[in-house]
């Protein structure tokens, strides 16, 4: 009985190896939704104009192939983010993995989508290898869905390459849901080591897409962050138009 089982297992090993090699391996890419806030506190996204087929001349979110065996998928995303914006060490979180056949006309491509939150002044945008252009677009909503606008161009979500409209929507939804119980908002601050309560409030307002009451926002901020030590009071103020605002520093966990 035992020896038969062994034989059977070795047989299975052979079959398994055979099967594995028979499966066509998919290409894996990481695509990144890079979000920031502009000077008027509007939500912006970095889009690139594709220089190559498929979807040549269409706008897309940046992405690139995983160098399997040489890097983790997190590293691939970080590398792609750096190549497009010249920044590391920012908020970069995995979002979802898209793998419907046909989402890329070339071949089966599995795309692991990431979301990056970046202060605008840190962005040093440059078109990557396969991109003709790279620009920030404001995100607005209309009956047709999302409209991406910059000074020269208006793009409807339907005009984006691949299934990137779907990816972007998921990123915004996720961000909106996470902001109430995660520290995501701090990653959009101009300087998370020196910021005012109003600056943080404006970020919440943009992401939640509604205005907030400053006195109440202050109270919850002091209770949830300052008293718990996750943010410290710098005991100095910033000159501004009205009364100087107190400055705070976010403590990375």
* 83 binds DNA, rule: CB under 7 A: no
Give the nearer residue to DNA in terms of CB position, either 54 or 244.
244
Q: Where are the beta strands (DSSP E) in the chain?
A: 27-37, 43-50, 59-60, 63-65, 91-98, 109-117, 131-142, 145-149, 154-156, 231-238, 245-250
Give the nearer residue to a second copy in terms of CB position, either 65 or 141.
65
* 237 binds DNA, rule: CB under 7 A: yes
What is the number of residues in the chain?
253
Q: Which residues bind a second copy (CB under 8 A)?
A: 9, 12-13, 15-16, 19-20, 23-28, 51-53, 65-74, 94, 96-97, 99-101, 107-108, 110, 112, 129-130, 132
Burial classification of residue 53, based on how many CB atoms lie within 10 Å of its CB (0-12 exposed, 13-18 middle, 19 or more buried) = exposed
Residues 188-207 that bind DNA (CB under 7 A): 196-198
Give the nearer residue to a second copy in terms of CB position, either 30 or 85.
30
Neighbours of 223 (CB within 10 A): 10
- Residue 169, CB-side half-sphere exposure with 13 Å CA sphere: 12
* 243 binds DNA, rule: CB under 7 A: yes
Tell me which residues touch DNA (CB under 7 A). 196-198, 213-216, 218-220, 223, 237, 239-246
């Amino acid at each position: 009985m035992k020896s038969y089982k062994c034989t059977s297992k070795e047989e299975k090993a052979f079959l398994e190896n055979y099967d594995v090699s028979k499966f066509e391996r998919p290409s894996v890419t990481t695509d990144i939704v890079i979000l920031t806030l502009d000077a008027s506190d509007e939500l912006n996204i970095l889009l690139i104009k594709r220089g190559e087929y498929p979807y040549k001349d269409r706008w897309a979110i940046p992405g690139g192939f995983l160098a399997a065996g040489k890097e983790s998928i997190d590293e691939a995303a970080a590398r792609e983010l750096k190549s497009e914006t010249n920044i590391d060490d920012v908020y970069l979180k995995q979002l979802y993995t898209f793998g419907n056949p046909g989402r890329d006309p070339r071949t089966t491509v599995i795309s692991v989508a990431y979301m990056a939150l970046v202060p605008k002044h840190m962005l040093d945008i440059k078109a990557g290898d396969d991109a003709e252009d790279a620009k920030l677009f404001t995100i607005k909503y209309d009956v047709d869905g999302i409209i991406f606008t910059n000074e020269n161009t208006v793009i409807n979500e339907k005009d984006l390459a691949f299934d990137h409209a779907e990816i972007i929507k998921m990123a915004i939804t996720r961000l909106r849901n996470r902001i109430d119980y995660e520290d995501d908002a701090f990653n959009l601050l101009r300087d998370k080591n020196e910021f005012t309560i109003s600056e943080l409030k404006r970020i919440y307002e943009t992401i939640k897409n509604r205005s907030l009451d400053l006195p109440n926002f202050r109270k919850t901020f002091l209770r949830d962050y300052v008293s718990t030590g996750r943010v410290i009071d710098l005991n100095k103020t910033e000159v501004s138009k009205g009364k100087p605002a107190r400055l705070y520093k976010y403590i990375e966990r």
